[in-house]
């Protein structure tokens, strides 16, 4: 009876599954037929309504949208642009994270679209515009679905032809961060800012402002030095900013030589694997806990007497016991 009931339930399940597949066109993509009202953003760690997400061509995205919400996607691109200094790298890495293909033709189309705008704001929607361009210029022969369809490696990203529009977009960002400067000065400011903030994690707005001001003062000193002008006032500002940021410790932090590094690593390994002795008399604490003398007196000695007929009836004294007896005898 139990077997028949089990067989009946299996049959019901199979019939239900077949009907569902027929309803969904046997494509396996239930998102095409079943209405989806919300999705989960892995960046925010919470669900949103489906309109908060970009549509995705990736077949691995079962609900038809990207796994990150629109705000997370755009923050991601701007974060990478800030870190690597150019739009190509920022968009390439973002595509790798969200599962979109990065193609040369689509990126060049995005640059042309940027050129049509008079001004690129700090919150420009790169991902949404990139998807729009990609869908517009895509041909039937183009297999642009997932990041595996990317036709540009990250190592060759700088070989993509840079349009003036892309440079203009980056210049707008630099002006927002640093004010109006020459391209070489932007490079210096970004280099010094990266040097000071590398490894610090997320900075507070007040900290970021101080670090940027520090870099600007360094730039002012550099320009005055080149012109042979006095930099006393700028040097004073530099020290004040360093003190406020608590980076005014000017002790010698010279890197160790290769020989010093080898010796240091050997010492660390020895201390990890072996006792770090620093006594002249290494025998003094050889059997500090008495385990060796106990093994000799109460295990090995009786066994020798039992097995080979030796007559060792006197316990062997340790060095400390001998010294103690000697002291008592002398007194």
Residue that finishes a domain, picked among 179, 199, 225: 179
In a domain, 8, yes or no: no
| pLDDT tens, N- to C-terminus, the chain (331 residues) | 544 555 554 454 555 544 555 544 444 444 445 578 889 999 888 899 999 999 999 988 888 899 999 999 998 998 888 777 778 888 999 999 999 999 988 998 988 888 777 666 666 789 999 999 998 888 877 788 898 888 888 777 654 444 445 556 677 777 888 888 877 787 788 888 888 888 777 888 888 999 999 999 999 998 888 888 888 898 899 889 988 888 876 665 556 666 666 677 667 666 666 655 555 666 776 777 888 888 888 888 888 888 888 888 777 655 444 444 444 454 4
Residue that finishes a domain, picked among 179, 209, 237: 179
101 shares its domain with 199: no
- How far apart are alpha carbons 130 and 107 in whole angstroms? 7
Residue range(s) defining the domain that contains residue 297: 291-320
In a domain, 132, yes or no: yes
144 shares its domain with 43: yes
21 shares its domain with 148: yes
In a domain, 2, yes or no: no
Question: What secondary structure does DSSP assign to 15-54, as a single string?
Answer: HHHHHHHHHTTTSS-GGGTS---EEEETTTTEEEEGGGEE
pLDDT for 70: 93
pLDDT for 5: 54
91 shares its domain with 222: no
Residue 32 half-sphere exposure, CB side, CA atoms within 13 Å?
A: 12
In a domain, 279, yes or no: no
pLDDT for 159: 43
23 shares its domain with 171: yes
In a domain, 40, yes or no: yes
128 shares its domain with 92: yes
Domain count, the chain: 3
In a domain, 97, yes or no: yes
223 shares its domain with 168: no
* Global pTM value: 0.42
- How far apart are alpha carbons 107 and 56 in whole angstroms? 17
175 shares its domain with 189: no
131 shares its domain with 39: yes
53 shares its domain with 161: yes
Residue that finishes a domain, picked among 222, 246, 270: 246
pLDDT for 258: 62
Contacts of 69 (CB under 8 A, 6+ apart): 41, 43, 44, 48, 52, 53
Across 80-98, b (16+ Cβ under 10 Å) vs e yields bbeeebbbbbbbbbbbebb
Between the alpha carbon of residue 174 and those of residues 79, 83, 183, 191, 328, the distances in Å are 14, 12, 9, 13, 86
pLDDT for 259: 64
119 shares its domain with 195: no
In a domain, 11, yes or no: no
Between the alpha carbon of residue 325 and those of residues 33, 294, 317, 322, 330, the distances in Å are 95, 18, 10, 5, 8
pLDDT for 36: 80
pLDDT for 139: 80
pLDDT for 255: 65
In a domain, 274, yes or no: no
pLDDT for 16: 54
Helices (H) and strands (E) in the chain, counts: 13, 4
26 shares its domain with 157: yes
């Amino acid at each position: 009876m139990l077997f028949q009931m089990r067989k009946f339930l299996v049959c019901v399940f199979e019939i239900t599954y077949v009907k569902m597949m027929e309803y969904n066109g046997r494509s396996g993509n239930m998102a095409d037929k079943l209405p989806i009202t919300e999705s989960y953003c892995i960046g925010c760690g919470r669900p949103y309504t489906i309109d908060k997400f970009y549509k995705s061509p990736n077949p691995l995205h079962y609900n038809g949208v990207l796994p990150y919400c629109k705000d997370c996607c755009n923050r991601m691109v701007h974060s990478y642009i800030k870190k690597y200094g150019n739009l190509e790298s920022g968009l390439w890495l973002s595509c790798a994270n969200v599962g979109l293909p990065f193609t040369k033709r689509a990126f060049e189309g995005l640059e042309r679209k940027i050129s049509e705008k008079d001004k690129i704001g700090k919150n420009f929607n790169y991902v949404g515009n990139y998807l729009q361009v990609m869908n517009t210029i895509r041909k039937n022969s183009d297999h642009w679905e997932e990041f595996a369809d990317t036709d540009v490696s990250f190592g060759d990203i700088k070989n993509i032809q840079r349009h003036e529009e892309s440079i203009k977009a980056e210049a707008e960002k630099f002006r927002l961060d640093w004010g109006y400067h020459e391209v070489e000065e932007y490079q210096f400011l970004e280099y010094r800012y990266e040097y000071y903030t590398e490894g610090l994690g997320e900075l507070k707005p007040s900290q970021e402002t101080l670090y940027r001001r520090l870099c600007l003062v360094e730039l002012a000193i550099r320009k005055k030095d080149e012109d042979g002008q006095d930099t006393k006032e700028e040097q004073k500002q530099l020290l004040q900013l360093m003190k406020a940021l608590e980076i005014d410790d000017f002790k010698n932090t010279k890197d160790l030589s290769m020989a010093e590094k080898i010796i240091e690593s050997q010492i660390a390994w020895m201390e990890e694997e072996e006792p770090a002795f620093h006594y002249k008399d290494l025998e003094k604490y050889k059997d500090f806990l008495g385990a060796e003398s106990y093994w000799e007196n109460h295990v090995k000695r009786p066994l020798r007497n039992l097995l080979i007929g030796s007559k060792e009836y006197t316990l062997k004294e340790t060095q400390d016991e001998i010294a103690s007896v000697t002291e008592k005898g002398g007194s």
